[in-house]
Amino acid sequence: MRTSDTLLVTGATGFVGAVLTRQLVDAGRDVRIFRRDTSSLDLLGKYAERVEHAVGDLTHARSLHDAMQGVDRVYHVAAKVSFAPGEQEALRRVNADGTANVVNAALEAGVDRLVHTSSMAAFGRPATPNGLIDETTEWEGLPHRSAYARSKRRAELEVHRGIAEGLDATIVNPSLVFGVGGPDTNTRRIVDAVRSGWLLVVPPGGTNVVDVRDVAAGLRAAMAKGKTGRRYFLGGENLSWKAFTHTLAEAFDVEPPRYIVPSSLLIVGGAVAEGFATLTRTRPFLTRSTARTASRTYRYDNTRAQTELGCTFRPFTETARHIADTLNRET
């Protein structure tokens, strides 16, 4: 593999992509970012002046082809994250078809290596309630799987199609990513709800959480060490919703959520929130899809990323403290 003078990062103006871009620039790499002309550069800050800009859209294949000229390595981080009803077509167009365009452009441009950012949502589910989920857990297309999960699964299949056509690519699957981010970041909405003190109830389930800085480092490790066609789960701790919201509350020195809401009531709340969002043309804080997922406890195994990539993952207490310290300084 040749040493690339310039790296391309799609989604560089987003939550994970911005942190990755900053890490790459700090490491002395020449970075070209692929962004829409309407993208905010706020998360990049001063780093926006230290990278080359290629303007385009994942759904416009030609703009991707142009952006990859002279690039040997590509980090594909751009994606649409939504669990709102009515977004199925947009999710397919951006996540699945957009990834197909990225793969095609990489093949046409002779890119040496691509790291694709997927999600733990693209994993299968364990055969038993207490089973661990990892990169090998078999996908099953059950009706309750979200449109987002399906779109990320289809995107992975596009990457494997590219590999079959000669592309060197590997895949990372982050868990629920926390960091400062921007106000519209999915997990930032959780942080702000806890910080405000108005979040009184939490779901009964649990999931895996990870620091955005560790995800960015994992992407870089996958580029250097990841095996072609292999998935790597980038996740830190398996925690209940009660545990990590209480950790956030402690970091902000506010009262933690007091109650655990029953699953049935949570799903009803998701339906009500969806209806209210439709009437007000706003983004729902909770949907039936996220309510069903949050009602269950899923546990994940990050052994492969640790052993094969050398990844390390900081405890969520450290992540929560970093978020609280940063946001408190901004106020």
CATH number at residue 167: 3.40.50.720
Instruction: Please give the structure tokens belonging to residue 220.
Output: 């870089």
| pLDDT of 273 | 67
Question: Is there a domain that residue 36 lies in?
Answer: yes
Express each pLDDT in 191-209 by its tens digit.
999 999 988 989 899 999 9
User: Average pLDDT in the 168-180 region?
Assistant: 98
Q: What's the whole-number mean pLDDT along residues 208-215?
A: 98
pLDDT reading at 188 higher than 80 = yes
What is the enclosing helix (H) or strand (E) of 201? strand 201-202
185, part of any domain: no
pLDDT of residue 275: 74
Give one word for 216, left, alpha or beta, with left for phi > 0 and alpha for psi -120 to 50: alpha
> Dihedral sign, CA of 182, 216, 9, 135?
negative
Return the percentage of the chain with pLDDT > 90, whole number. 75
Q: How far apart are CA 172 and CA 120, in angstroms?
A: 9
Whether residue 22 is contained in a domain is answered as yes
Name every residue whose Cβ is closer than 8 Å to that of residue 149 and which is 6 or more positions away in sequence: 119, 121, 122
Structural domain includes residue 191:
no
> 13-17, 23-27, 210-214, 279-283: lowest mean pLDDT where?
279-283
For residue 275, give every residue at least 6 positions away whose Cβ sits within 8 Å of its Cβ, in sequence order, or none.
none
pLDDT of the residue at 277:
67
Is residue 69 situated within a structural domain?
yes
Alpha carbons 47 and 21: distance in angstroms, whole number: 8
Mean pLDDT of 61-65: 96
Residue 164 pLDDT exceeds 80: yes
Does some domain include residue 66? Answer: yes
Helices (H) and strands (E) in the chain, counts: 12, 14
Give residue 3's pLDDT.
45
pLDDT higher than threshold 50 for residue 1 = no
**Mean pLDDT estimate for the chain:** 92
Task: Give residue 2's pLDDT.
Answer: 43
pLDDT band, very low/low/confident/very high, at 296 (cuts 50, 70, 90): confident
Mean pLDDT value of segment 250-260: 94
Q: How many domains does the chain have?
A: 1
Assigned domain for 31 exists: yes
Q: Identity (one letter) of the amino acid at 63?
A: S
Sequence-distant (≥ 6) Cβ neighbours of residue 268 within 8 angstroms: none
Q: Is residue 99 part of a domain?
A: yes
- The reported pLDDT for the residue numbered 266 is 74
Which domain does 107 fall in, by range? 6-177+210-235+300-313
Q: How high is the pLDDT of residue 269?
A: 67
